[in-house]
Amino acid sequence: MNDQPKPGPPRQETDPKAGVAEAVAGLDDLDDLPLSEHVERFDAVHTELTVALSSIDKV
């Protein structure tokens, strides 16, 4: 079983780049996870990227 925490909901951070990096890091162990958990990981990354893009003026 994977001991790494699952990505959670997007956080409102002062630095959107940090949230993107953390979300993308959640894909690092994708090969070790059951296929049924992949969608949740991709959704978390998509959400974090959406938050970062919506605040692009502050990047």
52 versus 14: the higher-pLDDT residue is: 52
Q: For 14-34, what is the mean pLDDT?
A: 82
1 domain-assigned: no
Q: For 29-35, what is the mean pLDDT?
A: 92
7 domain-assigned: no
50 domain-assigned: yes
Reported as a pLDDT band with limits 50, 70 and 90, residue 39 is very high
28 versus 56: the higher-pLDDT residue is: 28
10 domain-assigned: no
Degrees, nearest 5: CA angle 31-16-13: 110
Q: What is the CA radius of gyration of the chain?
A: 12
17 versus 28: the higher-pLDDT residue is: 28
Confidence (pLDDT) at 2 = 56
pTM over 0.85: no
